[in-house]
Amino acid sequence: MHNYDFTPMFRHSVGFDRIQRLMASASARSEASYPPYNIEADGENTYRIIVAVAGFDKKDLDITLEEDTLSIIGKKEDEAEDVSYLHRGIAGRSFQLKFNLADHIKVHNADLANGELKIDLKCEVPEALKPRQIEIKTRQAKTLEDKPKKMITGEDQAA
| Rounded mean pLDDT, 20-33 | 66
Tell me the pTM: 0.65
Domains of the chain (ranges, CATH numbers): 1-30 (no CATH), 32-79+87-127 (2.60.40.790)
| Rounded mean pLDDT, 77-82 | 70
Distance, CA of 98 to CA of 111 (rounded, Å): 18
Would the pLDDT of 82 be above 70? yes
pLDDT digits (tens, 9 = 90+) for 36-62: 999 999 888 899 999 999 889 999 999
pLDDT value of position 79? 66
pLDDT digits (tens, 9 = 90+) for 83-104: 788 888 877 789 999 998 988 8
CB 105 within 8 A of CB 41: no
